[in-house]
A and B are shown apart, each in its own frame.
Chain A
Amino acid sequence: MKIRSIRTVIAPAVAVVIALAAWEVAVAITGVRAYLLPGPLEIARTMWLNSARLFDASIQTAMAATIGFVIATGIGIVAGSVIAAVPVLRRALYPLATILQMVPLVAVAPLLVIWLGFGLPTAIAAATVVAIFPVLAATIDGQVSVDPGLREIFALHGASGWTRWSKLDLPASIPNIVTGLRISAGLAVIGAIVGEFVSGYGGDDAPLGIVVMSAMREARTDLVFGAVALCAVVGFALFGLVSFVGWVLVRRWHSSAVDPSGEKS
């Protein structure tokens, strides 16, 4: 690993350690009650004692977010490609999609419960709904901005619409799509957790959203913090995976390729 890469990893890690240490010291000095603000060590101890439950919860939430993200990716790329290819659809649907994106997910989530019931499908649907727009918008932007000169090369050789899409429009828009997917990855986890909040399901294998809600009702602030930390871990893992795949896809040809350590390749 290059020295710059090591610095890129170490610098934020040191910042996190310092922040946690400051938090621990502040809690110890001020004597604030643990049910209001537990220290990081207390949170870590709680996470350790509840590791099996939290692990299962993380898997549940990660599954809902990932399935929702995959569905959103498929719908976003297909719908985005169709909308990009048909100007009249672009004029008709793009503003509508933008307006729908403005509707808060928290307000829509109860509708999903009405339609899909309590349980995993609602969490998946919530993740899908919130993750679609960035992929859709990125796909449209990427495909309408394909270099006209490259299109002429395909026109000169009499390429069909499908050939041009599969060999030019889609590959040319991959950098845009990857950018959209990175945004969607984070949103999918948020969507899944909101879906879990409103659909309240679980029992022994309750997802992180339900763990947060039940721990809150029991005034287990340390457990709330632990579950929230794992929500961030799930989000970061999905974001990291998407970033890595995107980097692999475009690293050899596109200047936007940023490796997972944050450096331009």
Chain B
Amino acid sequence: MSASHVSLAFRRVSRTFPGGVVALNDVSFSVPAGGLTAVIGPSGCGKTTLLRIAAGLDRATSGRVELIPKSILKDGAVHFAGDRKTSVCFQDPRLLPWRSVIDNVALPLELAGIARADRMARASQVIAAAGLSDAKYRMPSQLSGGMRMRVALARALVTRPEVLLLDEPCSAVDEFTRMQLDEEIRRVWQASGATTLLITHSVSEAVWLADQIVVMGGASIDEIYQVQLPQGSRDRTSAGFLFEVETVMKLLARAAGVVAT
């Protein structure tokens, strides 16, 4: 699939919850079309709220989220039957436990009213691309945590989204599985060409995957950092990679109000 032509823009987005808790305060940044932007920050800084607003699961108190050239709110719908502008993968896989892998992956198409034969064919393609063909008819309870997340990613991709929203998809897995999932996210992002927003609390994950890192602290943006490493040659053990991680770590420490040593 060619790269998405849609960029995702947050325009002065604020969100205050009932009771006066400010989750987001005047947040503005853009995810370039076909790019991958990571948002990092300490717990409670509003990362997930940002994603939920972009997904339409929450509303901004002020400001707006736009898909350029099309507005999410005015045109959140379809290119052609079954396709959607945006898709979300949450930090927990959220699979229906009574459905097999293929039936879970095909769920968004089923909800869009796509005929069974068509949705199964497309779900099979996505499952094969994710290397899950052997697990196609297994139940979620028969899968490892990492495999469940890959199924959730496949489900997010089955609608061929132009914008992919990932909410800490690796937060509930061990370090080794996280690295495998990072590889999968990169493959998915590059293969789909989707404009991708990744919420994470892992600096090394953000540096390894993203072109741009938004560092948040206290409900607002503290820094927007452009990763200096080319996408094709990132090596977690290289000096350049470790330098980038250290740089972002310092930015994060400053945003979180702690002293980096």
Which residues of A does B touch, CB under 8 Å?
147, 149-150, 152-159, 163, 167-168, 171-172, 174, 250, 252-254
B residues 81-138 near A (Cβ < 8 Å) are: 84, 88, 90, 92, 94, 96-98, 107-108, 110-112
Cβ of A157: which chain B residues have Cβ within 8 Å of it? 84, 107-108, 111-112
Does the CB pair A168–B111 fall under 8 Å?
no
Does the CB pair A149–B96 fall under 8 Å?
no
Does B56 sit at the interface, judged by CB under 8 A?
yes
CB distance from B153 to the nearest CB of A (A): 14
Who on chain B is nearest to A250 by CB?
Answer: B98
Listed by A's residue number, 20 A-B pairs whose Cβ atoms lie within 8 Å are A147-B94, A149-B92, A149-B94, A150-B94, A150-B96, A152-B90, A153-B94, A155-B57, A156-B57, A156-B88, A157-B108, A157-B112, A158-B111, A250-B98, A252-B139, A252-B141, A253-B97, A253-B140, A253-B141, A254-B98
Bound complex: CA A43 to CA B110 (Å): 60
Does B55 sit at the interface, judged by CB under 8 A?
yes
CB distance from A15 to the nearest CB of B (A): 34
CB distance from B56 to the nearest CB of A (A): 7
Interchain CB contact (< 8 A) of A152 among B57, B96, B97, B141? B57
Cβ of B94: which chain A residues have Cβ within 8 Å of it? 147, 149-150, 152-153
Does the CB pair B90–A149 fall under 8 Å?
yes
Cβ of A154: which chain B residues have Cβ within 8 Å of it? 111
Does the CB pair B97–A254 fall under 8 Å?
yes
Interface string of B51-92 (1 = CB under 8 A from A): 000011100000000000000000000000000100010101
CB distance from B215 to the nearest CB of A (A): 27
CB distance from B173 to the nearest CB of A (A): 17
Does the CB pair A253–B98 fall under 8 Å?
yes
Known contacts: A171-B96, A253-B97. The answer to whether A153 contacts B107 by CB under 8 A is yes
- Name the prevailing secondary structure of the A interface residues: helix
Bound complex: CA A150 to CA B107 (Å): 12
Bound complex: CA A80 to CA B125 (Å): 40
CB distance from B168 to the nearest CB of A (A): 13
Who on chain B is nearest to A171 by CB?
Answer: B98
CB distance from B94 to the nearest CB of A (A): 5
Bound complex: CA A153 to CA B156 (Å): 10
Who on chain B is nearest to A168 by CB?
Answer: B96
Cβ of B108: which chain A residues have Cβ within 8 Å of it? 157
CB distance from A78 to the nearest CB of B (A): 21
Bound complex: CA A254 to CA B97 (Å): 8
CB distance from B58 to the nearest CB of A (A): 10
Bound complex: CA A158 to CA B140 (Å): 24
Bound complex: CA A167 to CA B98 (Å): 10
Bound complex: CA A147 to CA B90 (Å): 14
CB distance from A166 to the nearest CB of B (A): 11
Bound complex: CA A237 to CA B55 (Å): 51
* Chain A CB within 10 Å, residue with most, of B55, B97, B112: B97
Known contacts: A168-B96, A171-B98, A254-B97. The answer to whether A156 contacts B56 by CB under 8 A is yes
Cβ of B139: which chain A residues have Cβ within 8 Å of it? 252-253
Bound complex: CA A250 to CA B99 (Å): 11
Cβ of B55: which chain A residues have Cβ within 8 Å of it? 156
Cβ of A252: which chain B residues have Cβ within 8 Å of it? 98, 139, 141
Cβ of B141: which chain A residues have Cβ within 8 Å of it? 252-253
Cβ of A149: which chain B residues have Cβ within 8 Å of it? 90, 92, 94
Interface string of B134-163 (1 = CB under 8 A from A): 000001110000000000000000000000
Who on chain A is nearest to B98 by CB?
Answer: A253
CB distance from B252 to the nearest CB of A (A): 27
CB distance from B155 to the nearest CB of A (A): 8
Bound complex: CA A149 to CA B56 (Å): 14
Bound complex: CA A158 to CA B85 (Å): 13
Who on chain A is nearest to B57 by CB?
Answer: A152
Cβ of A254: which chain B residues have Cβ within 8 Å of it? 97-98
Bound complex: CA A147 to CA B141 (Å): 16
Bound complex: CA A154 to CA B107 (Å): 9
Cβ of A163: which chain B residues have Cβ within 8 Å of it? 111
CB distance from A247 to the nearest CB of B (A): 14
Cβ of B88: which chain A residues have Cβ within 8 Å of it? 156
Cβ of B84: which chain A residues have Cβ within 8 Å of it? 157
Who on chain A is nearest to B91 by CB?
Answer: A149
Bound complex: CA A172 to CA B90 (Å): 20
Cβ of A153: which chain B residues have Cβ within 8 Å of it? 94, 107
